Structure 1
Amino acid sequence: MKKILSILCFLICVNAFSQILSSNLEKKTLALGEVNHFIIKIDNLNNQQVSAAAKNELLPFHFEEIKDSIGTQPNLYERKIDFSVYEEGKFTIPELEFKVGDKVLKTIPYEIEVINTAQKGDQINDIMNNKEVKLEPKDYWELYKWYVLAALSVIALIVVIFMIVKWGRNKKSSPVVATNQTLKELDSLKKKKYIEEGNYRSFYVELLDISRKFITKQYNVPADVLLTDDLVQLMKTNNTISRDNEKIVEDVFLRGDLVKFAKTFPDKEIMEKDFTDIREFVKRSSNDLEFENLRKDV
């Protein structure tokens, strides 16, 4: 009997001092543009800090956040989000992570259906009866002149491009120029002190943007339009980037994607390492290009 009482007391104490996360979604079926309410609560904080995605960045991009309020007390964290969706279909609020001390708590996922409440048979009445208007040549010109001018501009652009390709010489930008420019951009990113302030989302967004522009310019790879998985696959197939540099790009880009969607929370040491690795990759890129030129010559 004493053992049972001891176990019960232990369980009660554990539950009393552990954090409890709860979430509530007001509606699971919405009309287009209708406002919905989403609430997350964490009890029994015991003065511990809560880390989560920044304001207005918690929900996926389909959800237009109207209001995002965060309330904190010594034992309670409460976040209330008002949002709307402006596309028809089914959308998912995934598991959202909240870090309390060293412990990561997750919400349950929610599926929301967004419908258009306009009925197919609804009748639309004109305010006035339609009038038949006779148009003169001048009227047609006013109606279609911008289309004509746009068509002429496109034709002129095609002619210019044809002349450049046939007779002109495209000047390739020097790899050294691209490298130095990117190193300056990385230095500017470092001065923003995102790492020191723990602003991991802004840090990875800008780091990946700088890296994508550099890869596009330096290696003639469309990194600025490809998804991370497609970019990694392309780098592995064309062998333009060395294996070491390719591994750095893959690791940093995949981690950056997880950070942007609040799937992971890197610490300062990881952020510093990713910054250093990208900087070294940029500085070593000329070696990749020299090897690629030799390979083409052979």
Structure 2
Amino acid sequence: MFKYLLSLFIFISTFGFSQTLTSSLDKTTLALGEVAVFKIQILDLDGKNVQIAPRNELLPFHFEMVNDSIAVQKDIYLRSVKFAVFQEGKFTIPEIEIKVGDEILKTIPYEVEVINTAKKGDQINDIMKNKEVELNVQDYWEMYKFYVLLALLIIAIIILIIGIVKWGRKRKDSPAVTTNQTLKDLEKLRKKNYIENENFRAFYVELIEITRGFITKQYQIPADVLLTDDLVDYMKNTNAISQENEKIVEDIFLRSDLVKFAKTIPTKEIMSKDFTEIRDFVKRSTKDVEAENLRNVSVEELSESDKSKIRKLK
């Protein structure tokens, strides 16, 4: 008799105070994209904590979650998962492990078959027929205005770059720029006080070096590599420099050679005069350049004002 009572007590303790886990799947055969519902229910929780996979992570990756809802009360845990599968074949919902308090519970596995219900040759009809719409200029502008504006911007940038390059090169190589830079170099030479200190050799070396560089840039004459006699002949043959300026350059260059080879010693007055004449020659050089540019234009293309200008320069 005691044994029967003990067995009854164990049965009641086991089943009367444990949790009840149930699961269900409303469909085991699905069409592509059809929604099915998988449910889990746990009864007699008695306030115990339920540990299970988080929301939207309960089922394997083939199952696309549509909705995952959870309801928990003191004695009941309910979970309803709506899902769809977008690939043909057979897929398994494995047994799911759930921890309730210190107890481990597991659901039963389910097999789901997904089929394509569309038949070969089925005609697919649009819900609404395509409607032809006539487009006007405004419509085309709205469609392509970004590309038009982008093309115009690129063209403007290219033109700007070309203009900057040409303008910058012109400014850099223009006669006025060369003249101004040479005048600055001459002013630096003057401030060295070579004339006052009678340092005639250093004075003429630097004066001739500045002048050679100026002639090379301003007149495109290779004065930086020619000897004095060759330079004089070159100037006379090209007629790029006016006779007045040509005479000044010739006299000062010849005197410089005599000074450098110690054949003559110039006075302060001569040094000052040579410096002033070279500076004036640099200032007048733009007229030589203008005259040369006009000579390169055919007479038929010249206006009366240009012809008058040439006669004055000559």
Of structures 1 and 2, the one scoring higher in RCO (CA 8 A, sep 6+) is 1
Q: TM-score range, shorter-chain basis? A: 0.3 to 0.5
Larger radius of gyration: 2
